[in-house]
Amino acid sequence: MKTLLPIARSDIHVHLTQEDLDSLFGKHYVLTYVRELTIPGNYACAETVEVVGPKGSIKGAVIVAPVRSYTQVEVSFTDAAILGLDPPLRESGDLEGSAGCILIGAEGRRIQLTKGVIAALRHIHMHPDDAKEFGVSNGQRVKIRVPGDRALVFENVIVRVSEEYRLEMHIDMDEGRAANIVDFQLVELIR
């Protein structure tokens, strides 16, 4: 069975509905492709927003396309401290009871979110073929060992399986710094 997989850090970023995109950048706005992400069809955009909380703001939060059915801001706990927010640790899309914020786009256009700010749970994207090779299933929680001078073991890593995914583990910048992660290095799934 396979045990090694790539890992990547995820910085503060935003997923937008078409309505919120239009409010921030103008009616029928089309986002500018920069680079493909590991989920085919998803890409980082040239456009960014400023995320504003009760205590501060962070400029340059990348927008991830395509548009979604919900607007979500993914932050690390360090980002949250800068913003003055206390986001729940959640899977993407689980927004009920989460914190809100203000997003500022082009020409000072802004929207107020009443919810949508989360700290994303560490997770692994896997195609069904990968899940079979690793001997895991969708929703399973696993441990991941990171090698190196700052070696550590991440526990409670959620496996997410879909035909649309390519193999990659995602952690936030805080977790990446703790283990001195280099994007796309290999880590080990522990059974």
Q: Any idea what the CATH number is for the domain that residue 161 is in?
A: 2.40.40.20
**Which residue is associated with the tokens 């994007």?**
183
Strands 99-104 and 110-120: antiparallel
Domain limits at 149?
122-190
Residues of the chain falling short of pLDDT 50 = none
Whether 105 and 154 map to the same domain: the answer is no
Nearest to 134 by CA among 86, 95, 189, 68: 189
What is the C-alpha to C-alpha distance for residues 105 and 51, in angstroms, rounded to an integer? 9
pLDDT in tens, 91-118: 999 999 999 999 999 899 999 999 999 9
Kind of pairing between the strands at 168-172 and 123-126: antiparallel
144-163 per-position pLDDT tens digit: 999 999 999 999 999 999 99
Structure tokens, 112: 């107020």
Q: What is the pTM of this model?
A: 0.94
Determine which helix (DSSP H) or strand (DSSP E) holds 142, and give its type and residue range. Answer: strand 141-146
Q: Clarify whether residues 60 and 81 are in a common domain.
A: yes
Q: How many CB atoms lie within 10 A of CB 164?
A: 11
pLDDT of amino acid 38? 82
> Cα dihedral sign for 8, 10, 11, 17?
positive
Q: Which residue has the tokens 């000072």?
A: 108
Q: What pLDDT is stored for residue 39 in this prediction?
A: 84
173 in the same domain as 111? no
Contact in structure between 168 and 5 (CB atoms under 8 Å) = yes
Clarify whether residues 90 and 127 are in a common domain: no
Q: What pLDDT was estimated at residue 27? A: 95
